[in-house]
Every structure is written in C-alpha cells, then in structure tokens.
C-alpha cells in the first residue's frame, strides 16, 4: 500500500497514568516518576499540580533539584515587580527559568521548552496525562 492510500490516522487518545494519592505529594517538593520510559518531575504547589520532563532543555540538568517560586516580571525601568509565585522552576545549573504549566522559558531567554504534562486530580488520585492530540495555544 502506498503512502497515498494508507489509512488516515485519527486523533491520538491521551493516556492517563496514576501517580498516587494527593497526600503522597507534600507541598513544594518534587516527586520523580517513570512514565512510558521518561523521567517526570511532579510537584504540588499552592497553584496546583505541575508535571515536567526532568531534564533542562539547555544542558540536561535535573530540574527536580531546581527551586520553585516566582520571578521578576517585565516592568518600568524604575520598578521591580515580582510575580508568578509557585509557577516557575529555576534550573539548578544555570538558573534559566521555565513556566511549570507551559514549559516555556521565562523572559524568552530561549525558544527551547521543557516538556510539560497535564495533571488531573480527583478522589481517585493524581494522574499524569500523556499523548493525545495537542491543542495549540493562541
């Protein structure tokens, strides 16, 4: 069968992996999980659960050793504005910062991103969602 006549693939279905109970995640501490052969760092902050690939896109540092907090925001020359508390991880090697929810670099220091995964929680636990058709951000 030629590529022209190959059956068209439909949208990929997301796969949910149970990581444990909510109580298994102390506030502000990364927990490492192996999911589909990838090391994923999961953290619960005051802003909710976040999951990222445990490798910095710069030189591969383990982001689970990074500090999670906020960052300085763009502001006027005579202002210092701090924000995004509990939504940013700072790489332990060279201090690049990444948004935990999107994996994007703070301040555009690089176009490389950390892979970020959706996390779902409920009475039955904490789940990492892998795969599926991605919805592009506007």
Query: Which ranges of the chain would DSSP assign to H, the alpha helix?
Result: none
Among 21, 22, 32, 59, binds ligand FES (CB under 6 A): 59
Which residue has 């990581």 as its token pair? 19
CA distance 50 to 43: 5
The answer to whether residues 136 and 66 touch, using CB atoms and an 8 Å cutoff, is no
Which one among 96, 103, 126, 127 touches ligand FES, defined by CB under 6 A? 96
CB 110 within 8 A of CB 96: yes
Of 31-39, 54-62, 116-124, 126-134, which segment contacts ligand FES by CB under 6 A? Answer: 54-62
- Tell me the sheet residues that pair with 32: 41
Cβ proximity to ligand FES: between 18 and 94 the closer is 94
Please report how close the Cβ of residue 21 comes to ligand FES at its closest, in angstroms: 31
The stretch among 38-46, 86-94, 111-119, 122-130 that binds ligand FES (CB under 6 A) is 86-94
First-to-final CA distance of the chain: 38
Can you read off the two tokens belonging to residue 71? 């960052």
| Residue closer to ligand FES, measured from CB, 45 or 54 | 54
Is 98 one of the binding residues for ligand FES (CB under 6 A)?
no
- Which residues would be at the binding site for ligand FES (CB under 6 A)? 56, 58-59, 61, 91, 93-94, 96
């Amino acid at each position: 069968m030629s590529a022209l006549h190959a059956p068209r693939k439909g949208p990929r279905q997301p796969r949910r992996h149970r990581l444990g109970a909510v109580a298994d995640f102390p506030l502000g501490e990364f927990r490492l999980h192996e999911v589909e052969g990838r090391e994923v760092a999961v953290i619960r902050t005051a802003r909710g659960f976040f999951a990222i690939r445990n490798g910095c896109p710069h030189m591969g540092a383990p982001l689970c050793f990074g500090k999670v907090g906020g960052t300085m925001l763009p502001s006027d020359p005579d202002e210092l504005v701090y924000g995004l508390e509990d939504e940013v991880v700072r790489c332990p090697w060279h201090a690049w910062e990444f948004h935990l929810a999107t994996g994007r670099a703070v301040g555009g220091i690089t176009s490389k991103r950390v892979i970020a995964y959706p996390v779902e929680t409920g009475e039955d636990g904490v789940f990492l969602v892998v795969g599926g058709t991605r919805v592009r951000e506007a």
